[in-house]
Structure 1
Amino acid sequence: MIRHCRIFSHLVLRSQSSHVHSSPVRILLPLSANTCTASPRTHSTNVKVRSYLQYMKRKVQGSPVPPYNHVCQVGDPVLRSHAAEVEPGAIQGPEVQKVIKTLVKVMRKLECVGLSAPQIGVPLRILALEYPKKMLEESSTASVEARGLVAVPLMIFINPQLRVLDGRTVIFQEACESISGYSASVPRYVSVEVSGLNEKAEEVSWKASGWPARILQHEMDHLNGVLYIDHMDSKTFINVKWEEHNE
Structure 2
Amino acid sequence: MITMDDIIRDGHPTLRKTASQVPMPPSEEDKQILASLLEYVINSQNSEIAEKYGLRPGIGLAAPQINVQKRMIAVHVHDEKGNLHSHALFNPKIASHSVELAYLTSGEGCLSVDEPYPGYVPRYARITVKGYDSEGNEVKLRLKGLTSVVFQHEIDHLNGIMFYDHINKEDPYKPIENAIAIER
- TM-score bin, normalised by smaller chain: 0.7 to 0.9
Q: Which of the two has higher C-alpha Rg?
A: 1
Asked if residue 117 in structure 1 is aligned to residue 51 in structure 2, the reply is no
Report if the CA contact (8 A) 1:68-1:102 is conserved: no
1:76 aligns with 2:8: no
Q: Separation in 2 of the partners of 1:68 and 1:121?
A: 12
SS in 2 for 1:213: helix
Distance of aligned partners of 1:88 and 1:67 in 2 relative to their CA distance in 1, 3 Å threshold: farther
CA distance in 1 between counterparts of 2:41 and 2:163 reads: 18
Higher helix share: 1
Secondary structure of the residue aligned to 2:68 is coil
TM-score (norm: length of structure 1)? 0.58
Within a 5 Å distance, the mapping from 1:166-205 to structure 2 comes to 166-172=98-104, 173-184=107-118, 185-205=120-140
CA contact (8 A) 2:35 2:88 kept: no
- The aligned residue for residue 176 of structure 2 is none
- Deviations along 1:162-198, one digit per CA (max 9) or x if unpaired, are 0333111123211111112313310111100001110
| 1:102 matched residue in structure 2 | 36
Paired residue secondary structure (2:126): strand
- Give me the whole-angstrom Cα distance separating, in 2, the residues matched to 1:150 and 1:85: 32
**Unaligned stretches of 5+ in structure 1?**
1-65, 137-143, 238-247
Match of 1:88 in 2: 24
Q: Quick one: percent identity of the two aligned structures?
A: 26
CA distance in structure 2 between the aligned counterparts of 1:171 and 1:209, rounded to whole angstroms: 11
| Counterpart-to-counterpart distance in 1, 2:73 and 2:138 | 15
CA–CA separation in structure 2 for the residues paired with 1:82 and 1:99 = 18
In the alignment, which of 206, 211, 227 is matched to residue 146 of structure 2? Answer: 211
Determine the structure 1 residue equivalent to 2:47. none
Give the superposed CA RMSD.
2.2
Q: Which residue of 1 aligns with 2:167?
A: 232
Partners of 1:103 and 1:115 within 8 A in 2 = yes
Alignment pair present for 1:160 and 2:160: no
State whether residues 67 and 120 of structure 1, in contact with CA within 8 Å, keep that contact through their aligned partners in structure 2.
no
Aligned residue pairs: how many? 156
Would you say 1:223 and 2:158 are equivalent positions? yes
Say if 1:100 and 1:199, in contact at 8 Å, map to a contact too. yes
Structure 2 unaligned regions, length at least 5: 45-55, 174-184
